[in-house]
Amino acid sequence: MLHDPAQLDLMFQALADPARRSMVERLSRGPASVSQLAEPLAMSLSAVVQHLNLLEASGLVRTEKIGRVRTCQIEPKALQAAEHWINERRLSWERRLDRLGDFLAETE
Amino acid sequence: MLHDPAQLDLMFQALADPARRSMVERLSRGPASVSQLAEPLAMSLSAVVQHLNLLEASGLVRTEKIGRVRTCQIEPKALQAAEHWINERRLSWERRLDRLGDFLAETE
DNA sequence: GCAATAGTTAAGTAGTTACTTCAGTGTTGA
DNA sequence: TCAACACTGAAGTAACTACTTAACTATTGC
């Protein structure tokens, strides 16, 4: 579920916006309400809610509404899935370089 | 340079598209020409070149033209920068949970 | 009860993105 | 030398994004 291409699209798309990254950054320091997330951002509450909905759709953030307050949390598993995709590609490239190095050493 | 917000925008934006991710995936297995990158994709060469230009602008891919062939390579440092941003946020969240755990254990 | 609070939803708009086709440019091999 | 090759660039278009404002709903505290 976390590795399907459409989910990765959503996660990377979500991380591509500085406002959304700053919301993730804020949430990495602990849960926050929508208003708290909006406070440092120079845009309407409405815009923040729309960003938040994207973050939630991507799986990076989970929210729970209690009374009139919506509390938001990071979902570390989703962050890890994005991290993992990148890491795999980088490792694959590095393994290839190692093999190439071995080959060159052998034929020396 | 690799950590400035605009560069992260470009990198995550680049990774948000399945065609571009498949190009990165192909390149993680070794260098390739533009035509080789295009071959498995159901779109015009021109579209592939446009994706490639985005990947290059993001810093994720480096290309070099020799004669009429443009050879493309992954830039692992850029991949690592994206990976690092995500990892920092996740670790920050996990450290917070640890402190919370310690606190609860103490006050028990 | 009722004003203030916290968020939601819809509609509109300017700007961006992901393509397409088509008409090039420069390189190479026979 | 010249046709095939490997791209490149411009222009057009449909769909999508990141906002805005304004009108709304549900909760809370006095």
Nearest-neighbour CA in chain B from A92: distance (Å): 6
Among B13, B29, B83, the residue with its CB nearest the CB of A92 is B29
Nearest-neighbour CA in chain A from B30: distance (Å): 7
Contact between chains at B8 and A24 (C-beta distance less than 8 A): no
At B39-72, the pLDDT tens digits run: 999 999 999 999 999 999 999 999 999 999 999 9
Exposure class string for A7-25: b at 16+ Cβ within 10 A, else e? bbbbbbbbbbbebbbebbb
Contact between chains at B8 and A21 (C-beta distance less than 8 A): yes
Write a three-state SS string for A44-80. Answer: CHHHHHHHHHHHHHHCCEEEEEECCEEEEEECHHHHH
The pLDDT of residue B104: 82
Contact between chains at B18 and A25 (C-beta distance less than 8 A): no
Q: Of the candidates A17, A29, A84, which has an alpha carbon nearest to the alpha carbon of residue A55?
A: A17
Sequence-distant (≥ 6) Cβ neighbours of residue B100 within 8 angstroms: none
Nucleotides of C under 7 A from a protein CB: 5-10, 17-23, 26-28
The pLDDT of residue A26: 98
Among B18, B29, B82, the residue with its CB nearest the CB of A86 is B82
Token duo for residue B61: 């891919």
At A67-82, the pLDDT tens digits run: 999 999 999 999 999 9
C-alpha to C-alpha distances, A65 to A33, A72, A89, B22, B98, nearest whole angstrom: 9, 9, 38, 38, 25
